[in-house]
């Protein structure tokens, strides 16, 4: 019988691969505490409308990539493709407005039906950081500093570049959008079919196109700086000044955009070319109109998400867990005693692993191969327990057992 295979685009991890993800999550948890971000949990499933409203009905994520289904009650339910929408929904429905400005962090699985590729899966894992109810540019700086500090903590900051842009305020964005439509209309026949479809629905997304036909035209497209209002220019200047003060390096990318209308001001990506073709490992921006799309009041907010798998591929291999004490049982009569000893060592904060199967020699060989810091051999003959302790380290087991009352063999 053929073994059951995993669902395409999912993965099962063991040992170093699982440890890499754990290292990234642990670093994120340390850093979010340094910045005062509260840990939150939100459901893996939401009503489909939560994502359709916030990600956009016409985006590829909503139209092609979401895992949506009708439950037994007839409701359309979706496995979360990202965290921001669910956190914003909770901000409204759970009464979190009282904590504004609210700084929160989350991590966990997300799901998108897309072509699996290096570092990308259909079930993947994300880190997420949001500041909700905060209009000042200082909060953009704090969020960007959080992302940069995470990269430093992981030891990969030198291989990643923060690319930064402004999308301006509503007036700026509206003027720029009109100018882009006018410009690309003049070259419509030369655009790719996808960009022609976006021309009137979402012209900013044309700037994201990787199609060679579009790339030649994008170079000469109107720049947003031509349309920045004084307020929008001032906001961006305060963000960049804050980043310099915080020691966060960045470079301007005036073609970096977010297509949905509720994005304002800061847009950014931490990008690398260490994963093959250049790609983002952290991406986000200011989304001052998103909560309104969920039926809430105008609520400024800024956030980012990061792919755990992609970050995990960039870090050094973590050290394998090494057990403090391997307990090798010489004979079956010593097995009960070994359990008692192991629990005592664990109560003292030492990890302990028992080796009770196979011949005594094989047990010891496995303990040595596993790399235990100390090996404690137990033997029971007649009514006596004999022990041997081999260690090239600090004899932690010997100290931990100094007050241990050895049980009488049964």
Q: What is the mean pLDDT of residues 38-67?
A: 85
| pLDDT confidence tier of residue 58, bands split at 50, 70 and 90 | low
Q: What is the mean pLDDT of residues 178-207?
A: 89
| pLDDT confidence tier of residue 57, bands split at 50, 70 and 90 | low
Percent of the chain whose predicted confidence (pLDDT) is above 70 = 92
Among the listed ranges 32-41, 198-207, 261-270, 389-398, which one has the minimum average pLDDT value? 389-398
Higher pLDDT, 6 or 44: 44
Q: State yes or no: pLDDT of 402 exceeds 60.
A: yes
Q: What is the pLDDT of residue 118?
A: 66
Q: What is the mean pLDDT of residues 74-86?
A: 94
Q: What is the pLDDT of residue 198?
A: 87
Q: What is the mean pLDDT of residues 115-127?
A: 82
Q: State yes or no: pLDDT of 384 exceeds 60.
A: no
Q: What is the pLDDT of residue 144?
A: 98
| pLDDT confidence tier of residue 317, bands split at 50, 70 and 90 | confident
Q: What is the pLDDT of residue 346?
A: 92
Percent of the chain whose predicted confidence (pLDDT) is above 90 = 56
Q: What is the pLDDT of residue 119?
A: 63
Sorted by where each starts, the structural domains of the chain and their CATH numbers stand as 16-169+229-314 (3.30.930.10), 325-400 (3.40.50.800)
Q: State yes or no: pLDDT of 387 exceeds 70.
A: no
Q: Mean pLDDT for the chain?
A: 89
pLDDT tens-digit readout, 213-246: 998 899 899 999 999 999 999 999 999 999 999 9
Q: What is the mean pLDDT of residues 137-148?
A: 98
Query: For the CA atoms of the chain, what is the radius of gyration?
Result: 28
Q: State yes or no: pLDDT of 26 exceeds 90.
A: yes
Q: State yes or no: pLDDT of 385 exceeds 90.
A: no
Higher pLDDT, 53 or 246: 246
Q: What is the pLDDT of residue 208?
A: 84
Q: What is the pLDDT of residue 251?
A: 97
Q: What is the pLDDT of residue 250?
A: 98
Residues 6+ apart with CB under 8 A from 83: 42, 106, 108, 110, 126, 128, 130, 305
């Amino acid at each position: 019988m053929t073994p059951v295979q995993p669902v395409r685009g999912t993965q099962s991890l063991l040992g170093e691969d699982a440890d890499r993800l754990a290292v990234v999550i642990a670093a994120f948890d340390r850093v979010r505490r340094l910045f005062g971000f509260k840990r939150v949990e939100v459901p893996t499933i939401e009503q489909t409308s939560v994502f359709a409203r916030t990600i956009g009905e016409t985006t590829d994520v909503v139209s092609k990539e979401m895992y949506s289904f009708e439950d037994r009650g007839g409701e359309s339910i979706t496995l979360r493709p990202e965290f921001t929408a669910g956190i914003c929904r909770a901000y409204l429905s759970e009464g979190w407005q009282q904590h504004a400005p609210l700084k929160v962090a989350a991590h966990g699985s997300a799901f998108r039906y897309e072509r699996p590729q290096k570092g990308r899966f259909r079930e993947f894992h994300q880190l997420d950081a949001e500041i909700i109810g905060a209009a000042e540019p200082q909060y953009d700086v704090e969020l960007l500093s959080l992302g940069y500090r995470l990269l430093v903590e992981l030891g990969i900051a030198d291989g990643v570049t923060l690319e930064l842009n402004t999308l301006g305020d509503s007036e700026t964005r509206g003027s720029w959008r009109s100018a882009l439509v006018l410009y690309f209309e003049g070259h419509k026949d030369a655009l790719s079919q996808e960009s022609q479809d976006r021309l009137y629905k979402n012209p900013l997304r044309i700037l994201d196109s990787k199609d060679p036909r579009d790339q030649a035209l994008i170079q000469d497209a109107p720049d947003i700086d031509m349309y920045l209002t004084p307020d929008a220019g001032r906001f961006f200047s305060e963000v960049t000044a804050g980043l310099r003060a915080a020691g966060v390096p960045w470079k301007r990318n005036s073609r970096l955009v977010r297509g949905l209308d509720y994005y304002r001001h800061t847009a950014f990506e931490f990008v690398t070319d260490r994963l093959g073709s250049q790609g983002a490992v952290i991406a986000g921006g200011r989304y001052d109109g998103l909560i309104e799309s969920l039926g809430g009041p105008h609520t400024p907010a800024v956030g980012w998400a990061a792919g755990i798998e992609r970050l995990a591929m960039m870090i050094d291999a973590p050290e394998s867990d090494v057990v403090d004490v391997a307990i090798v049982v010489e004979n079956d009569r010593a097995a009960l005693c070994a359990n008692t000893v192991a629990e005592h060592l664990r109560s003292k904060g030492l990890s302990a692993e028992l080796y009770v199967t196979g011949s005594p020699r094989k047990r010891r060989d496995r303990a040595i191969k596993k790399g235990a810091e100390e090996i404690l051999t137990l033997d029971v003959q007649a009514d006596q327990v004999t022990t041997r302790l081999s260690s090239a380290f600090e004899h932690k087991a010997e100290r931990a057992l100094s007050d241990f009352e050895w049980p009488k063999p049964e």
